[in-house]
Structure 1
Amino acid sequence: MALSVELAVRYGLTRNGLPSPASFRRWVEAALRGAKRRKPSALAIRLVDIGEGRALNRDYRGKDYATNVLSFPVELPPGVALPLIGDLAICAPVVQREAAEQGKAVRDHWAHLTIHGVLHLLGHDHVDERDATIMEALETRILAGLGIADPYA
């Protein structure tokens, strides 16, 4: 059964060296399948620079630094049924820096953080150890299906 996914990818910085919308679609669909979401889904991904990433993290989380991925789950009013699950903001320079620091392939790190963000949009979290274990196992399984090694190993 094919997934119904409406995905908008926007680049808030130079697109050179960044994944294509087709790559993001592949990773989003893998996350949705892995989380067993069968309903139509719509989301937007915005790739941001350090300045925009820092401003978003400061304004929405009270943390004055750029982080790798921010998720903004949709909060629809009661009685409104739309396929929208939310938005992701991914800070490209942070993703690239982390991949280098952690000795990971940049593309694999992009895939991981996209999947991680989508799982947040679907309600998964890692606030406590139990939830973190569940979410990390799900991420690892989804990534393995894409031929990507366990990012937590």
Structure 2
Amino acid sequence: MSSKPKAHRLRTGRHSASGRIYLLTAVTHERQPIFNDLYVGRLVVNEFRRAHEAGSATSIAWVVMPDHFHWLIELQNGDLPKLMQTAKSRSARAINQQRGRHETLWQKGYFDRALRREEDLKAAARYIIANPLRAGLVTRIGDYPLWDAMWL
């Protein structure tokens, strides 16, 4: 049995393609709930926007939960490993700088799921942004500050 984390096995043999839709998930180191701090969570959101502005990915929907994020994107230029490495490393740098620390922020790897275009992307986006409701963090999604979807 392999001792590698599951996130690494998921990507084995996969390749990413521009124009494909992906659901991406990354988890904080030891599932620390550092995004309970709204300002710290916004630093992750800044990296989603930076990737969008750089033409790497079109953000369809995202939510930043206390210890992880879900990001539904259409990959534009580049590949998933580079996109995720950039988003995670830049956000870690910004968060560590803001907190005056030098700590490991993210677990290694990430989870990805390619969606087919014929899948209902609005349903996938609704599922993503409803995470705070299912987790019991809020009673209305509008009360949770760290989410967005392109249709809203």
User: Could you say whether these structures have the same fold, taking a TM-score greater than 0.5 normalized by the shorter chain as the test?
Assistant: no
Q: Which has the higher contact order (CA 8 A, sep 6+)?
A: 2
Q: TM-score, normalised by structure 1?
A: 0.28
Q: TM-score, normalised by structure 2?
A: 0.29
